[in-house]
Amino acid sequence: MSDAPQEPAPDAASAASPGALESSASGVVAGEPAPGDGSCALAPGAGFLPRLKEFALFAALAVLLTWPLAWSPDQAVARRGDYFVNTWNFWWMHEAVVEQGISPFETQALHWPRGVDLARHTLSPGNALLGGELSQLGSPHDAFKWLLLLHMTLAGFAMCQLARELTGCRAGAILAGVLYAHAPFHLYYFAQLNLGSMEGLPLAVWAMVCCWRRGGAGRMLGVALSAAWLAATSEYYLVYAGGLGALLVLGGKWWSPETPWLTGAKRLVGAGVAAAAAVALVAWPLISAMLSGAGAGDAASESGRAAMRSNDLLGFLWKGPPEEWLVSWPTMLGWSTLLFLALGWRGLFKQSYWLVLALVFLVMSLGPTLSIGGESTGSALPSAALVDLPLFSMLRKPDRFLLLVQFCVAILLASCWGTWSRRSGPGRPHRVFMAGAVLLMALEFAPAPVRTFDVSPSEAIELLAVERDVQGVVHLPVLGGSQEARVNHLATVHGHPVAQGYVTDLALGPEQRAATDAWQAAEAQLARGRVAALRAQMQASRVNIVVLHKLVPRKRAALEGPKGVIWAPFCFAREELMHVRQWGHLEERTRGAGQVQALQGTLEAAFGAAILEDEVVAVYRG
Calpha distance 241→237 (Å, rounded): 6
Percent helix, strand and coil across the chain, each rounded to 5? 60, 10, 30
Secondary structure of residue 293 in the 3-state scheme: coil
* Predicted local confidence at residue 27, as pLDDT: 40
pLDDT at 545 over 60: yes
pLDDT at 262 over 80: yes
Give the mean model confidence (pLDDT) for residues 319-336. 94
Give the mean model confidence (pLDDT) for residues 521-546. 96
Q: What is the mean pLDDT of the chain?
A: 88
* Predicted local confidence at residue 506, as pLDDT: 82
* Predicted local confidence at residue 38, as pLDDT: 39
pLDDT at 537 over 70: yes
Calpha distance 307→397 (Å, rounded): 9
pLDDT at 135 over 90: yes
pLDDT one-digit tens code per residue, 209-225: 999 999 999 999 999 99
User: Pairing state of beta strands 375-380 and 369-372?
Assistant: antiparallel
* 432: amino acid identity, one letter: V
Confidence of residue 133 (pLDDT cuts 50, 70, 90): very high
pLDDT at 12 over 70: no
Secondary structure of residue 473 in the 3-state scheme: strand
Calpha distance 181→233 (Å, rounded): 16
Calpha distance 466→497 (Å, rounded): 14
* Predicted local confidence at residue 562, as pLDDT: 74
pLDDT exceeding 70 applies to what percent of the chain? Answer: 87
pLDDT at 611 over 70: yes
pLDDT one-digit tens code per residue, 76-91: 999 999 999 999 999 9
* Predicted local confidence at residue 622, as pLDDT: 87
- For 609, counting Cβ atoms within 10 Å of its Cβ (0-12 exposed, 13-18 middle, 19+ buried), the class is exposed
- For residue 66, give the DSSP letter: T
User: Pairing state of beta strands 473-476 and 545-549?
Assistant: parallel
Poorest-confidence range of 197-211, 217-231, 242-256, 561-575?
561-575
Poorest-confidence range of 44-48, 54-58, 493-497, 572-576?
44-48
Give the mean model confidence (pLDDT) for residues 585-599. 90
pLDDT one-digit tens code per residue, 360-417: 999 999 999 999 998 999 999 988 877 666 666 667 789 999 999 999 999 999 999 9
Q: Which residues pair with 566 in a beta bridge?
A: 327
Angle (CA) 102-105-110 rounded to 5° is 95
Poorest-confidence range of 7-16, 67-76, 458-467?
7-16
pLDDT one-digit tens code per residue, 20-39: 333 333 344 333 334 333 35
Calpha distance 189→82 (Å, rounded): 9
Q: Higher pLDDT residue, 610 or 2?
A: 610
pLDDT one-digit tens code per residue, 440-459: 999 999 999 999 999 999 99
Confidence of residue 427 (pLDDT cuts 50, 70, 90): low
Closest to 172 in 3D by CA, of 10, 367, 37, 6 = 37
Give the mean model confidence (pLDDT) for residues 475-504. 94
* Predicted local confidence at residue 592, as pLDDT: 84
